[in-house]
């Protein structure tokens, strides 16, 4: 994990695509630009798709950890890849 203390957390292991990204977007909505969201998600489709969708919307994934129980935990900076 990164050294940054996350500003928010969302568990999307209980939903499937595309609700995974919907819940992630809702969680990000509650944060300011530059704040960090921690996301717990399942292996397979969620870990393949959610980080990619986050990048497409200019958020920056800064860490990825395999929890070795079929889930991953990632951290993302809201708007971390936006140009301004």
Partner 1 sequence: MTFTNEQLERYSRHIILEDIGVKGQEKLLNSKVLIIGTGGLGAPAALYLGAAGIGTIGLVDGDTVDLSNLQRQVIHSCADIGKAKVISGKESINAINTDVNVITYQERATAENIKDIIKDLDYDFVLDGTDNFPVKFLINDTCVMLKKPFSHAGIIRFQGQTMTYVPGAGPCYRCVFKNPPPPDLVPTCQQAGVLGVMGGVIGTIQATEAIKYITGVGKLLTGYLMTYDAKKMEFRKVKIAPDITCAICGENPAIHELIDYEIAACSIRDRQ
Can you spell out the DSSP letters for 44-78? Answer: THHHHHHHHHHHHTT-EEEEEEE-SSSEEEEEEET
Residues 45-64 that bind partner 1 (CB under 8 A): 53, 56-57
Q: Are 35 and 7 in contact (CB under 8 A)?
A: yes
Binding test (CB under 8 A) with partner 1, winner from 1, 4, 9, 26: 26
Tell me: does residue 22 bind partner 1 (CB under 8 A).
Answer: yes
Which of residues 3 and 32 has its CB atom nearest to partner 1 in the complex?
32
Q: Which of 13, 25, 61, 63 binds partner 1 (CB under 8 A)?
A: 25
């Amino acid at each position: 994990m990164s050294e940054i203390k996350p500003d928010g957390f969302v568990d999307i292991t209980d939903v499937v695509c595309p609700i995974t990204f919907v819940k992630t977007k809702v969680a990000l909505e509650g944060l300011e630009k530059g704040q960090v969201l921690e996301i717990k998600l399942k292996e397979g489709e969620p870990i393949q798709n959610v980080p990619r969708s986050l990048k497409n919307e200019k958020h920056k994934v800064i860490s990825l950890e395999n929890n070795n129980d079929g889930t991953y935990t990632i951290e993302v900076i809201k708007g971390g890849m936006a140009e301004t």
